[in-house]
Chain A
Amino acid sequence: MKNPYLPLPMRLVKNFVETEDKLIHTFTLEFLNEEDEKSFQYLPGQFAEVSVFGVGEAPFGIASSPTEPGHLKFSVAKVGVVTTTLHQLPEGTILGVRGPLGNNYPIEEFKGKNLVVIGGGFAFTTLRSLITYILHPDHRGDYGELTVIYGARNPGLLLYKDELAEWEKRSDINLICTIDRPVEGWNGRVGFVPAVTKEVAPSAENAYAVICGPPVMIKFTMPVLEELGFSPERIIMSLENRMKCGIGMCGRCNVGNKYVCKDGPVFTRAQLNQLPNEY
């Protein structure tokens, strides 16, 4: 069996300032070795440990989709040692990546169903992966209606603005972007995600909801989803407990008897209802 602690070498090919406040950068990485690229088979929802050699590693959700071969994307908020260093790295730097780690969104179960994807702030990363995957011509036919509700404090803090603009134009995705307070030049909705979800009122009929965002957003959106008729088995969430090993050994990320790194990070609301609230 392979040594799960050894990172695969990758080159940072793009360090892109994603948000107006410059606190989120999106990093595009390319594999140095072709065989590594082949072995790195991932699905939306999985994460990876990214190494900055000499500084350390940190886990990030994979923001790219397996339908975009040749590279991996991560969108990273600057919060501490590794992330701050990452933000300053010049393109061309050699990084390391371990993964893919964790489980993925249940894309097989999603087949034939409508999907309501709800995101807030910079937790939109693996949701981008999921949406990109579903919108791919090879997959779009497998899924029903796709509704995306995405909120940020102001327009400048939305991630992936170019893509949002493209999705806006498509007829096979219903994209609703919202910001917290009115801003000049913004023609979209205004209001918090829970309220907007209530207004949009996506049907729970034959549908799954996938929700990622700050804890308050999740807390207040949950009752809305329940009211709309989404059962706990059909609400999918992704947790972000602090991690080191990513493989269930360092003992850091558990919620009750589940390890977020290995049993998650994707859980249904029903599964989380069975676990203590330590996330």
Chain B
Amino acid sequence: MLLNKGQLTDWLNQLMQAYQVFAPIKEGDYFCFKQINSGDQATLNYTNSKVPPKEVLFPRSEKLFCYRCENDGVQLTEQIDESKKIIVGLRPCDAKSFLLLDGVFKSDKYHDPYYLTRRNNTVLVGLGCNQPASTCFCTSLGGGPFATEGLDLLLVDIGDRYVVEVLTDRGRELLAGMELPAADQEAKETARRVKEGAALSTQVNLEGLKSKLDVIFYDPIWDLIHEKCLGCAACTYTCPTCHCFDIVDEAEGNEGCRIRNWDACMFPLFTLHGSGHNPRPTGKERFRQRVMHKFKYFVDNFNAIACVGCGRCIINCPVNLDIREVLAEIQGSEVRSDKQ
């Protein structure tokens, strides 16, 4: 189907009657996903957001429940957000990250109702990437600038119009009442050319990486790889697949809330035991954890790599530590032994 760019604002305004709409907007020097209250706030000519749209479903800080202590008990109030949402203009890599997060927040035994409720109530309208950034490497991870996995609709920018690819029924419902024309031959042809033109400049060789990581834990390579890292966690905070969190209480008098906040494996306190013992005492163990978690442990547990190649960790690292180079170094290394 075809959507004129001029119709976008009206469409979003219409959707806002039934949904909270989240879209990229410019804040200072960068873009981020925020709830908009007027369709014209959505800015779809952006490369990628600083912080992934993950925060719409898994906010950096959220209340789990509030409580009031009484003499003979405690009143708990769950804080589950049941509002219907749409994320408009997210990139295919970020859509894929939700599929990975689903596995974490939904196990056989436990369901995380905060993430899952939002997830079930959120429709994803993707935006293909006509001009991927130099840091993008999604195709190495099975994605692509116009990949549709995880999306309900995909918008392909063909100049003055979007070709709208309808991927699910939920996506189709969003278009109800719009009476959009089907894509004509010329639009299809332009879309094809746009897609072909969106070539990625980097490829990362992941072949055999997993079997290398299986035996590389005690290899001295980690001593070198982490050296530059400051442990600031900019990489993990801006990663669409990172999901670590902390749980804290905030209270005043006999009332308060239990809150979860994003946390990161790059911080020393993350694993510090009460006894003072720390299983990951230095930057080396913490950097190794980040790489191993994404490229080995997650594969062991979910049969998928927990990286979508969005490049944010590369862009946001203050010392230019590039995950692509780290992986290449591991790939090029000779594994000496996996014994302590």
Contact = CB atoms under 8 A, between A and B. Distances in A.
Do A and B interact with each other, yes or no?
yes
B46 interface: no
A94 B73 contact: yes
A256 B73 contact: no
Interface in A1-54: 1, 3-7, 9, 32, 51, 53-54
B245 A244 contact: yes
Interface stretch (B105-113, B142-150, B170-178, B197-205): B105-113
A262 B109 contact: yes
Contacts of B105: 249
Given A53-B69, A249-B104, A279 B279 contact: yes
Interface string A50-86: 0101111100000000000000000001011001000
Interface in B26-80: 64-65, 67, 69-70, 72-74, 76, 78, 80
Contacts of B272: 242
A57 B64 CA distance: 13
A54 B69 contact: yes
B248 A56 contact: yes
Contacts of B243: 249-251
B19 interface: no
Interface residues of A, number: 41
A151 B251 CA distance: 41
Interface residues on B, range: 35 or more
B274 interface: yes
A254 interface: yes
A252 B78 CA distance: 24
Given A5-B258, A262-B107, A241 B279 contact: yes
B81 interface: no
Contacts of B300: 257
A145 interface: no
A55 B263 CA distance: 18
B217 interface: yes
Contacts of B245: 244-245, 249-251
Given A4-B110, A241-B271, A254-B297, A53 B279 contact: no
B72 to A, nearest CB: 8
Given A215-B277, A279-B279, A4 B111 contact: yes
B74 A250 contact: no
B244 interface: yes
A3 B78 contact: yes
B76 A251 contact: no
A5 B275 CA distance: 25
A53 B273 contact: no
Interface residues of B, dominant DSSP: mixed
Interface residues of A, dominant DSSP: loop
B217 A276 contact: yes
Contacts of B251: 53-55
Interface in B221-257: 242-249, 251, 254, 256
Contacts of B254: 54
Given A9-B73, A80-B274, A244 B110 contact: no
B246 A244 contact: yes
A247 interface: yes
Contact of A278 (B73, B244, B279): B279
B212 to A, nearest CB: 15
Interface string B262-278: 01010000111111010
A40 to B, nearest CB: 15
Contacts of B320: none
A83 B69 CA distance: 19
Contacts of B256: 53-54
B4 interface: no
Given A94-B74, A254-B297, A247 B110 contact: yes
A254 B277 CA distance: 15
B293 interface: yes
A94 B74 CA distance: 7
A72 to B, nearest CB: 17
Contact of A250 (B73, B113, B247, B340): B247
B296 interface: yes
Contact of B271 (A3, A32, A249, A252): A252
A252 B107 contact: no
Contacts of A32: 72-73
Contacts of B301: 257
A121 to B, nearest CB: 10
Nearest to A56: B249
A96 interface: yes
Contacts of A182: none
Given A79-B275, A252-B270, A278-B271, 9 more contacts: A1-B110, A53-B249, A94-B73, A240-B273, A241-B279, A249-B112, A251-B242, A251-B245, A257-B300
Interface of A: 1, 3-7, 9, 32, 51, 53-57, 77, 79-80, 83, 94, 96, 215, 240-242, 244-245, 247-252, 254-257, 262, 276-279
The 4 closest A-B pairs by CB, nearest first: A54-B251, A251-B244, A79-B274, A257-B297
10 contacts: A6-B76, A242-B273, A244-B246, A247-B110, A249-B245, A250-B244, A250-B263, A257-B296, A276-B217, A277-B340
Interface of B: 64-65, 67, 69-70, 72-74, 76, 78, 80, 104-105, 107, 109-114, 217-218, 242-249, 251, 254, 256, 258, 260, 263, 265, 270-275, 277, 279-280, 285, 289, 292-293, 296-297, 300-301, 340
